Amino acid sequence: MTGAKTTNKRPFFKDPDFIIFIVIAIAATALRLYQLDVRPFHHDEAAVGSFAYKLFTNGNYEYNPVFHGPFLYFLTVSVFNIIGDTDFAARVVPALTGVGMVLLVYPFRHHLGRPGWLITAAFFAFSPSFLYYSRFFRNDIFITFFTLAAVVCAVKYLEQRNNPNRLIYVALGSAALAFSVTAKENAYVTIALLGFPVGMYVLYRIWLLYRTRHQQHDIIASLEKNMFRILMDTGLFIVVFLAIYVIFYSYFFKDFEAVKGATFSAFSHWYEMHEIERIGGPLYYYFPLLFLYELPVALFAFIGSIDYIKRFIKSRENPMMVFLVYWLAASLAAYAYIGEKVPWLILHPLLPAVLIAGAYLGEVVPSLKQRTKWAEAAFVVILVFSSAFFLHTSYNLNYKNFSDPAEPLIQASQPPQKFQHFMATLHETADRHKGFYTEIQVTDNEMDTQFLWQIRHYKNVKWRVNLENDPALDAPIVVAHDEDADYVMKVVGDDYQRLDSAKMAWYWFKPGDINYRFIMYRQLDRPQSEYGVVLFYR
């Protein structure tokens, strides 16, 4: 049953559960670090990477909500200072944060039950979505990590509320929320969703106190009795939060003006994205993704949610799980409403779904012997099939189709894998000439975002070369749009080799695409659309 103790008298390092957990954590680490730099940088990864490199090389940083908060940049630059500015170095921070999601299950284990907490850890470790975005240089994995950390701290605070140790969890929980806000603007959405039931709970406790004691002075006396503790805890929370917020948004006290407008800019940006629906989608956008990629989590989270609500209504059992059900429902509703529909936002409703599914399976699996044979057999078949599909999907997405736009979890601006060959050829050509001082002419005006990261070390790059006004294309390396390639070929002459590639690829999905071949193998009956680029090299 959820909430049961999972510890015993033997040392933790001899506990079979702990050993299984360590194995899961090691597997999560290996899965996230394996071939971390093989997939070409996504369009957004390249944009974020170029800003991180700018900060790394010249120390310049200015908050821009389009590219989100300072946390990712400051942390990434710290890694660059240690191991260099490589694709691996950029992605290693999100990867280790993904491992941290698994580790955070351990202090939450008493509320997930046994073996629920181990199932939850395994879900985080092998989840197609969490694994993919742990290997992705963007901010949402940080939001989910800090959100889970804040929830764990809140639970620990309630357990220790009459103990001075509670202050540790006040400080850690406040820091988690502050770091979340400095990572990405939708942290405010998470804070609002989690803060609402907390506020309602406080009001409920005051109402309950009034109802049972009937005397207003009893309420005041109770508040006065705990006033010092309330003020101390609240004060510590505010101080820690503001300290981190100011330090990061002021760029370590270099720009206090940026602090004043950071929150307003964050809300303005998200409101604008919601209004214009720059990347729009239907209200149900995230539901198909959940069932396509996270089948056992989606199934047992929704079944478990219904069961937990029914039990709570009947006997007020397990309010923690009811809170998680609220969190899941509120997250799905919030992100269904928000006009910006992008696949990485799936992580936010998926987080409470994993906790619910893990806890519910942890209750149901040990009790299967008490059910009828038919019910037991049906449950086992569903669990085995959905879990096998879950692992199959995770492998295909993360290690086989990781740059295939037929994967709906991959946004359309993902460059094809052949782009790696494009870049390798460019670097090999430069090595034969003047290395990083080799002249590069870029005639395609849309290559800036992708190339600002990819050719960040080159010192002699001519951007936006005009083919009509500046036809002298004589650099050892020329990059052109595929529509201009034939003209460029005539200009540069026979001394140049030509390599056709693409900087991004996509599909416009249609209902007819949904069939067995697509669901199992992401096979489509038509070629992908591409933004073609051509490399001419001498």
User: For all residues of the chain together, what is the average pLDDT?
Assistant: 90
486 in Cβ contact with 523 (< 8 Å): no
The encoded tokens of residue 33 equal: 């670090």
Residue 439 φ then ψ, to 5°? -75, 135
**What 8-state DSSP symbol labels residue 527?**
P
Which pLDDT score is estimated for 1? 45
CB atoms under 10 Å from CB of 189, counted, come to 19
355 in Cβ contact with 120 (< 8 Å): yes
- The top-scoring range by mean pLDDT among 203-212, 438-447, 464-473 is 438-447
Please tell me whether residue 339 adopts helix, strand or coil conformation. Answer: coil
Residues 491-524 have pLDDT tens digits of: 988 899 999 999 999 998 888 899 999 999 999 9
**Average pLDDT for 451-461:** 94
Query: What are the beta bridge partners of residue 462?
Result: 441
Q: In what order do the strands lie in the sheet with 497-506?
A: 461-462, 440-442, 477-481, 529-537, 497-506
Domain ranges of the chain: 12-400, 418-537
Cis-peptide into 40, omega within 30 deg = no
Alpha helix stretches (DSSP H) within 2-83: 16-33, 43-58, 71-83
Instruction: State how far the Cα of 408 lies from the Cα of 414, in Å rounded to an integer.
Output: 11
Residues 177-215 have pLDDT tens digits of: 999 999 999 999 999 999 888 888 777 766 766 666 555
The encoded tokens of residue 366 equal: 């040990």
Which range, of 149-153, 277-281, 464-468, averages the lowest pLDDT?
A: 277-281
- In terms of Cβ atoms closer than 10 Å to its own Cβ (0-12, 13-18, 19+), residue 212 is exposed
Q: What is the pTM of this model?
A: 0.92
Confidence band (pLDDT; 50, 70, 90) for 216? low
**Average pLDDT for 241-267:** 89
Map tokens 């489509």 to a residue.
524
Confidence band (pLDDT; 50, 70, 90) for 117? very high
